[in-house]
Structure 1
Amino acid sequence: MKKILFVLSDLPKIGPTNQTLYIIKAAMKKYEVSVLTLFDETDCYSVKDNYIANGVKVECLHLESFINAIIKGPKKIAEYIKNNKVSLIHSYGTIADYICEKAHTKTNIPHIISLRVFPKEDLFSRMNFIKAWIAYSIHLSALKKCKHVVACSKSLLGLMRDKYGFAKKFIYIQNGVDVDKYSLDSNSCNNRDNNYICLSSIISRKRIHESIEGFLKSNISKNSILYIVGDGELLDGLKMQFNEYKNVIFVGKTNDVQKYLNSCKYFISSSESEGLPNSLLEALSMGLIPIVSSIPQHLEVLEEINAVYYSYVLGNVDELSKTIDSIPDDIISNNRERIVSSSFNSTNMGKKYIDLYSEIIE
């Protein structure tokens, strides 16, 4: 049985690591699979135990820093590949992509990169300028050299091709969601109270403040709750800024996202940049009605499945609040049925990756 090695920096509880596990579970039906992380887990909500519980072998290189990974990582991964007779490397993330491409040049083992963000928008929104510039430079180097780069959405592929000539070789496989995991309980979406949820990392490009301000300016906010579910560098500042509003509840990171999705009827996202938003897929699979910024990555999903949704122009808080107030009280959502029968499910995504693996190594 041929072996596939997945390489990531670590395994925090975020959308991309969930997507990677979906791919791994599909690959395990045909290949021997292992995961190699670069750094020790620092997030108390790490999904490492969940990977192991699903039968995935997880090992770590215990690299000490970004610089340490850049210098020592390629050699260590090349040694791991040779010692374990790996047939293919599949990486995700700036550092992992870079050092795996370096390891590929040492071993000639095929390398796939899953691209889940538009690099410049992502890196410069969460790092200082110097660190972001270095990370951006090395990521572009890896993406340019790698033969097999898979964008997680048609929209992201389009953005990359418009910006970079070398991206003409890229392909896309759309993200998926485990529709069985995110299933409705007896509290059908159409019977829920008019509560709202932002499910997101609390970082600048997600524009959580815009979602909150739009909600608070709406008339309906007087009798509704907005849950902010997620963690990030801006969380404490937002808590202080909106501390007086009892109808805005900061949940933080949680292992029970489904609980909050099940208590809400509407999903809000003011994000300015995405790959293909995992949280939107989760919300749709629970039947929620999205109210989103009209960026291509949101609309790709919503238009393709003909969802019940509302959109507004990014940055226009007044339009967001008016959109919220314009939604009829008796609106009916069939979004769960639409996402279940669509291509945006983890089974479909997994099959497409298996086909790609077979094409490359068989």
Structure 2
Amino acid sequence: MGKKIKVTFVVTNCKKTGPINQTLNIIRNLDKGVFEASLITMFPEEENNTMFDGYRKTNIKIYQAGMNKVKSILYGKVVVGNILKKIKPDIVQGVGIPPYRMTLGYKDCVHFVTLRNYCYEDYPDQYGKKIGPVLADMDMKLIRKQMSKGEPVVTCSNSLTDMYKKKQQLDIGFICNGVDVSKYSKRDLSKRAALRKALALPDDKIIFVYSGRLIDRKNQQEAIESVLHSARSSEIVLVLLGDGINRQSLVDNYRKHANVLIRGEVSNVIDYLHASDVYLSSSKSEGLPNGVLEAMAAGLPVLLSDIPQHMELFSVNMRIGRYYKLGDVGALASEIDSMLDDDLSSMSADSYKAVMNNFTAEIMSKKYQNLYKHFL
């Protein structure tokens, strides 16, 4: 057997986020006979908000730089570069643009990055409406420069690639996100009543659930208002899981409504998915939404806004659920009402099959592995 291909992943830290989860999925499914993976973390881990143990259990080598943000700006490239000199990787994959920048001081490798959002939509929400567009301009300048050198860049969905093509005139390939289907197993309806009791959820309602960040871009207020405007609102409950800058305002504004439950950050998302009937996302923008894929892997039908990234899922199978026109509360309320009369069991089966056949972590990782080989 020949020399293994060394792939080093560089992250800020292992905070529980979609990109960190997707990177772990890539590593878990690597062909160990061909690839040797390692990880560099730039910042210390956050207590009670880390996936570090998941990475450690893969038995890859992990290097912790232990920098803070100021130190990373001042000499992050030097610190990361010195670690890379010890590893001597063939490919370095930055998970996010800041870590990607830190890898560019080391020249003896292929530099690689996956774009997981459209920066001009995501950054204003993340960094503010003044700073966000400036940072997006900087990142686009960097991506154009690296692509002109022949360095590989992909997005995490076909629809996101189309967006960069139309809006930035960039020809970028894509590898769709994948879900760990062993973790998000298909729900067992015979156990749903017991789960609802344990989670203090009503047993006599149709439960719509969302899991993810509670921020403007995710647009939870539209989902809540649609539930409240539903002609059959007394028959349904909306459960929101996750944290974010909008959480407290949502709690304050809707605490009086018994059919809106904002549970915040939980460690047992899978239990909530198994206890629910429909996954609801009213998001304004996505890469390829992890929360939706995970819900589908749990066998939930979906009700989604008609953004391109959501419609990409429907292009695989139109029977996975329903969609509505983003921004139209009345249209979403109408679709909610209609779903109460749909054959949710049939939608559930189609939703599960769509993920299993197209969006698993194994499928995603194999595509990355083929790309790594291509660029060496």
Do both proteins adopt the same fold according to a TM-score greater than 0.5, normalized to the shorter chain? yes
Whole-angstrom CA distance in 1 between matches of 2:328 and 2:364: 34
Post-superposition offset of 1:341:
4.1
Task: Assess if the C-alpha contact under 8 Å between 1:189 and 1:288 holds in 2.
Answer: no
Q: What is the aligned partner in structure 2 of residue 72 from structure 1?
A: 75
Matches for 1:1-362 after TM superposition, within 5 Å: 1-27=4-30, 29=32, 30-42=34-46, 44-65=48-69, 67-100=70-103, 102-103=104-105, 106-146=106-146, 147-165=151-169, 167-168=170-171, 170-187=172-189, 194-329=206-341, 331=343, 332=345, 333=347, 334-361=349-376
1:58 is paired with a residue whose SS is strand
Post-superposition offset of 1:328:
4.3
Post-superposition offset of 1:117:
0.5
Change (3 A) 1:342 1:190: farther
Deviations 1:324-351 (A, max 9, x none): 1122435132134422542211111111
Task: Assess if the C-alpha contact under 8 Å between 1:94 and 1:135 holds in 2.
Answer: no
2:89 partner amino acid: V
Task: Assess if the C-alpha contact under 8 Å between 2:301 and 2:351 holds in 1.
Answer: no
Deviations 1:87-120 (A, max 9, x none): 11011213112222x32xx423101101111011
CA root-mean-square deviation: 2.0
Q: Paired residues, what number?
A: 355
Task: Assess if the C-alpha contact under 8 Å between 2:223 and 2:282 holds in 1.
Answer: yes
2:91 partner amino acid: L
Task: Assess if the C-alpha contact under 8 Å between 1:21 and 1:51 holds in 2.
Answer: yes
Post-superposition offset of 1:27:
2.5
1:262 is paired with a residue whose SS is helix
Task: Assess if the C-alpha contact under 8 Å between 1:305 and 1:342 holds in 2.
Answer: no
Task: Assess if the C-alpha contact under 8 Å between 1:225 and 1:249 holds in 2.
Answer: yes
Whole-angstrom CA distance in 1 between matches of 2:294 and 2:227: 21
2:160 partner amino acid: L
2:206 is paired with a residue whose SS is coil
2:312 partner amino acid: E
2:327 is paired with a residue whose SS is coil
1:4 is paired with a residue whose SS is strand
2:232 is paired with a residue whose SS is helix
Change (3 A) 1:252 1:324: same
Higher mean C-alpha displacement, 252-261 vs 332-341: 332-341
Whole-angstrom CA distance in 2 between matches of 1:350 and 1:135: 29
Identity among equivalent pairs (%): 30
Task: Assess if the C-alpha contact under 8 Å between 1:156 and 1:275 holds in 2.
Answer: yes
Post-superposition offset of 1:290:
0.9
- What are structure 2's unaligned runs of at least 5 residues? 194-202
Task: Assess if the C-alpha contact under 8 Å between 1:111 and 1:148 holds in 2.
Answer: yes
1:142 partner amino acid: L
Deviations 1:118-173 (A, max 9, x none): 011111112124432443233223311232101000000000111223x22x2101
Whole-angstrom CA distance in 2 between matches of 1:186 and 1:272: 31
Whole-angstrom CA distance in 2 between matches of 1:259 and 1:345: 20
Whole-angstrom CA distance in 2 between matches of 1:282 and 1:125: 24
Task: Assess if the C-alpha contact under 8 Å between 1:4 and 1:88 holds in 2.
Answer: yes
Whole-angstrom CA distance in 1 between matches of 2:297 and 2:352: 8
1:250 partner amino acid: I
Q: What is the aligned partner in structure 1 of residue 196 from structure 2?
A: none
Whole-angstrom CA distance in 1 between matches of 2:226 and 2:53: 38
2:275 is paired with a residue whose SS is coil
Whole-angstrom CA distance in 1 between matches of 2:354 and 2:261: 28
The structure 1 segments of at least 4 consecutive aligned residues displaced by more than 6 Å after TM superposition are 188-192
Whole-angstrom CA distance in 2 between matches of 1:54 and 1:335: 32
Higher mean C-alpha displacement, 112-121 vs 192-201: 192-201
1:259 partner amino acid: D
Post-superposition offset of 1:270:
0.7
Task: Assess if the C-alpha contact under 8 Å between 2:296 and 2:355 holds in 1.
Answer: no
Task: Assess if the C-alpha contact under 8 Å between 2:300 and 2:352 holds in 1.
Answer: no
Whole-angstrom CA distance in 2 between matches of 1:326 and 1:307: 14
Change (3 A) 1:18 1:124: same
Whole-angstrom CA distance in 1 between matches of 2:191 and 2:217: 29
